[in-house]
Structure 1
Amino acid sequence: MTEDELRMHLLPELFNAAVRAGAAIMEVYRHSDDYAVGYRDDRTPVTAADRAAHRAIKEALGRTRIPILSEEGRAMRCEERCNWELFWLVDPLDGTLEFLKGNNEFTVNIALMENNRCRGAAIYVPYFGRMYYAGRGEGAWVCEGIAPDASADYTYGRIVAAGRRLPSQTKARDVLRVAVSRSHRTPETDAHIEALRRRVGAVEVVEQGSSYKFCMLAEGVADYYVRTSDTCEWDTAAGELILAEAGGSTRSLADGAALRYNKEDLRNPWFVCRSRDCGV
């Protein structure tokens, strides 16, 4: 795939799919008495909004004829997907627990994977109308005022005109701002933060749900993110590229290795992220 193909054709497809999924989520969010909550095999919750967002993305991206690996799609064995050169890696509603709590901290994650590396990415925060997107080697951007819209049809030119380059904050802080999961914080996370305090002094902990933590680091409003509980590849692929294109990094906590994608087991190792200007 050429850079022009990604920018001119697939960026609008990616962008519009995320906005349409956001509209499906917000339609359910407004009716809290009818979330139709169920549970997956791993006992994590799934709602009508997860399913509606998946349908919206599948419909929007189906015309690209690129296969979709989604948290809410059918289970696919490694043998079926291991030779995919190009595929969409999707979490239609990241932060389902935050959705159920009504705290607005949920996102739509869509990553375009090429040879098991993220090539293009979008994270949409529908409640706040914020779209973060990136292309490998092309930078990371944020668009404000992108309202959920079930018939979103943004053109390439309109997307580019609305974008602001990341990071937007670059001034070093006296206090290290550490992002952690609001609903999946563990004793290992707290121990890691205490070790940071011993190294750098003052640490400010910022709790946040969903992949929005990657976006906070990409913007420069947080410096460091540590995750010591279960995540899957669709939780991280889009955020990792957006952060990387803003100058940051994501590495395995155990050995500093890069995260790998389209593995037989789609779960990630524990990991740590750093913003561009993080000195730790």
Structure 2
Amino acid sequence: MINDKVRMYLLPPLFNAAVRAGASIMKVYRNRDDYDISLKEDRTPITLADRMAHRTIREYLGPTRIPILSEEGREMRYEERCNWELYWLVDPLDGTVEFIKGNNEFTVNIALMENNVCMGAVIYVPYYEKMYVAGRDSGSYVKEGVAPDAAVDYSYEEIVRGWTPLPLAGESHHDHLRVALSRSHQTPETHEHVARLRERFPDLEIVEQGSSYKFCLLAEGRVDYYVRTTHTYEWDTAAGELILAEAGGSTRALPEERELRYNEEDLHNPWFHCRSKFCPF
């Protein structure tokens, strides 16, 4: 079991890897002609920024000697990883579609997994210079003003200094339900789900948002509910699920209402929905 000393030792590389990856992403983001877009086997796009962020994280986390399961290393065979006790679960650029569209809604997701349970997590939003951090049974926090920096080297003390516990004070009550939806990945099932909600909450507000930033808005309490009825992968949810859970919220598979499972042979997630701490149902 990861103890507090080990957690303190691993938080700085977790945090710094995400910030350095964010710097790699923003370097490409500012130069649209350099995106170098191609398609992966599942027909989803990949850019130079994805590849650079993956390389940055792999090189920075390498000295921890903890293996990495990443979106950009998805071809790893199940037999190679099924008995891992400790590993990093990484999405170096979550929200590639939003990155290509230029709407700033993309993140770096890194989760520290122990026996397929997320024990520590960060989601970095480089454009907004916001870092969300959680440790199992240790709370969930946001640290602002974290600028992308390819040479950053935060210490543990610098990371925890001035961060804000989640959910945010002042977000405990909304006069109407706020429902987050993926900006680029909605289906007829998504709309049917929202229609059923609207029968109970006629004045609900839809908040369209890209990437795992939706988990962060839920953790802050800015939105109440999120439903996803298109395919996602384990690296899309692991970090966000812990950040939300440590802020008092929940993530459950649809329709079973079970917790999400990790390091499965098939790395696809089921459909799922999330509730903030203040969700009224």
Shorter-chain TM-score tier:
over 0.9
For residues 279 and 266 of structure 1, the distance between their equivalents in structure 2, rounded to whole angstroms, comes to 31
- TM-score normalised by length of structure 2: 0.98
For residues 206 and 39 of structure 2, the distance between their equivalents in structure 1, rounded to whole angstroms, comes to 30
CA contact (8 A) 1:6 1:120 kept: no
Quote the offset at 1:255 in angstroms: 1.2
Match of 1:222 in 2: 223
- Structure 2 unaligned regions, length at least 5: none
Identity fraction in percent: 68
For residues 117 and 273 of structure 1, the distance between their equivalents in structure 2, rounded to whole angstroms, comes to 18
Match of 1:157 in 2: 157
Quote the offset at 1:117 in angstroms: 0.5
1:266 aligns with 2:267: yes
Quote the offset at 1:40 in angstroms: 0.3
Across the aligned residues of Structure 1 and Structure 2, the Cα RMSD in angstroms comes to 0.9
For residues 254 and 212 of structure 1, the distance between their equivalents in structure 2, rounded to whole angstroms, comes to 23
Match of 2:214 in 1: 213
Quote the offset at 1:88 in angstroms: 0.2
Report Cα offsets for 1:107-155 as digits up to 9, x if no partner.
Answer: 0000000000000000000001000010000000000000000011000
Secondary structure of residue in 2 paired with 1:63: helix
CA contact (8 A) 1:110 1:122 kept: yes
Alignment of 1:48-197 (within 5 A): 48-73=48-73, 75-168=75-168, 169-197=170-198
CA contact (8 A) 1:117 1:261 kept: yes
Report Cα offsets for 1:51-83 as digits up to 9, x if no partner.
Answer: 000000001100100000000125111111010
Q: Which amino acid aligns with 2:192?
A: A
Secondary structure of residue in 1 paired with 2:180: strand
- Structure 1 unaligned regions, length at least 5: none
Quote the offset at 1:171 in angstroms: 2.3
- TM-score normalised by length of structure 1: 0.98
Structure 1 runs (4+) deviating above 3 angstroms are: none
Q: Which amino acid aligns with 2:198?
A: R
For residues 194 and 275 of structure 1, the distance between their equivalents in structure 2, rounded to whole angstroms, comes to 20
How many aligned positions are there? 280
